[in-house]
Structure 1
Amino acid sequence: MTNKIFLPLPEGALCLIAASAFCAEYLLFYFHSTTHKGLEGYYHTLLVFLVGLCILSSIAGALLPTSFPVDLCNGIAIALQGLWFYQTAFVLYGPMMPSGCKLGEMSVTCHSADSEVRSELLANFQLFVAVLVVLVGTVVSYGFAASRYGKYEVKTLHAFQVGFDED
Structure 2
Amino acid sequence: MVAQITIEEAIAVMGRKTGQGSASLYKALKKCKIDYMSWRAVHSLDTLPPLCILLVRFYDYNHSVLFYDGVYYDPEFGVMNTYTPDGEITHYMELFIDDIYACREIKLNIPDDFMQAFAQDQEAYDIFNQLPYPAKAKCINGISHFKNPLIRKNTIVKLLASLKQTDT
Alignment TM-score > 0.5, same fold: no
TM-score normalized with structure 1 length: 0.20
**Structure richer in helix, relative to its length:** 1
Highest CA radius of gyration, 1 or 2? 1
**Structure richer in strand, relative to its length:** 2
TM-score normalized with structure 2 length: 0.20
Higher relative contact order (CA 8 A, sep 6+): 1
